[in-house]
Amino acid sequence: MGMFHVKQKRPKGRTKPYADRGISRVPCLRCGKPSSWQWRCCALGGKYFGMCDDCDVKLNGLLMRFFGIDKSVIKRYKKKMKGDKHGKSKDH
């Protein structure tokens, strides 16, 4: 069961960080959309991978849960990210 039957693709990534302007040409590691962020993954040789806005928000949500950080912090963060993306951000 489990791990041994899962075919993992081995994404290439880069050993050096992507330039800010170049990151949009890099497909998101998770969904293939143009990336806005990069993420350094230790489990994949410490390489850099692209990540789009949506997946970045999701990953942050996962990490927050992993670290046991309060849900309200995640909520606020997601709200903020959504606001920024659509240019409707409101200052509290």
Judged by the rule CB under 5 A, the positions of this chain that interact with Zn ion are 28, 30-31, 33, 52, 55
Question: Which amino acid, one-letter code, is at 23?
Answer: I
| Beta carbon of residue 1, minimum distance to Zn ion (angstroms, whole number) | 28
Interatomic CA distance for residues 15 and 13, integer angstroms: 7
Closer to Zn ion by Cβ: residue 35 or 90 = 35
Question: Which amino acid, one-letter code, is at 10?
Answer: R
Closer to Zn ion by Cβ: residue 23 or 52 = 52
Interatomic CA distance for residues 53 and 33, integer angstroms: 9
Closer to Zn ion by Cβ: residue 53 or 69 = 53
Closer to Zn ion by Cβ: residue 33 or 80 = 33
Interatomic CA distance for residues 11 and 87, integer angstroms: 33
DSSP for residue 89: -
| Beta carbon of residue 32, minimum distance to Zn ion (angstroms, whole number) | 7
| Beta carbon of residue 33, minimum distance to Zn ion (angstroms, whole number) | 5
| Beta carbon of residue 13, minimum distance to Zn ion (angstroms, whole number) | 15
Record the tokens describing residue 35, joined without a space: 């990336």
